[in-house]
């Protein structure tokens, strides 16, 4: 199973996300777009995005015409 990746600023739903670079776990309660990782300035970050661990992300309820 491939983890879904959402770059900073992606429109998402509430859920849990993991930094693609440092593994920081982020629980998104109400924001509609993803912030940069809190450790972004402390450690090298190359992917600049989050893996979607739970929640819907860019999924069926989101009007993004991404591939399935
Ligand atoms: Zn990070």
Question: pLDDT tens digit string along 24-68?
Answer: 999 988 878 999 999 999 999 999 999 999 855 454 444 555 544
The candidate with the shortest Cα–Cα distance to 66, out of 21, 10, 1, is: 10
Which pLDDT value is given to residue 43? 94
Question: pLDDT tens digit string along 8-25?
Answer: 999 988 889 999 999 999
**How many whole angstroms from 38 Cα to the centroid of ligand 1?**
7
Residue 13 near residue 50, CB atoms below 8 Å: no
The backbone torsions φ and ψ at residue 50, rounded to the nearest 5 degrees and listed phi first, read: -125, 145
Residue 34 near residue 50, CB atoms below 8 Å: yes
Q: CA gyration radius for the chain?
A: 11
Which pLDDT value is given to residue 66? 52
Work out the average pLDDT over 4-10. Answer: 94
**How many whole angstroms from 21 Cα to the centroid of ligand 1?**
5
The Cα diameter of the chain in Å comes to: 35
Where are the domains positioned within the chain? 5-54
β-pair partners for 15:
28
**Ion ligand 1 residues within 5 Å by Cβ:** 19, 21-22, 24, 37, 39
Which pLDDT value is given to residue 30? 83
């Amino acid at each position: 199973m491939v983890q879904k990746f959402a770059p900073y600023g992606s429109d998402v739903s509430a859920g849990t996300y993991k930094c693609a670079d440092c593994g920081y776990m982020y629980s998104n309660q109400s924001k509609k777009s993803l912030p940069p990782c809190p450790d972004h300035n402390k450690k090298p970050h190359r992917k600049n995005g989050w893996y979607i661990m739970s929640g819907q992300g860019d999924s069926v309820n989101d009007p993004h015409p991404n591939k399935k």
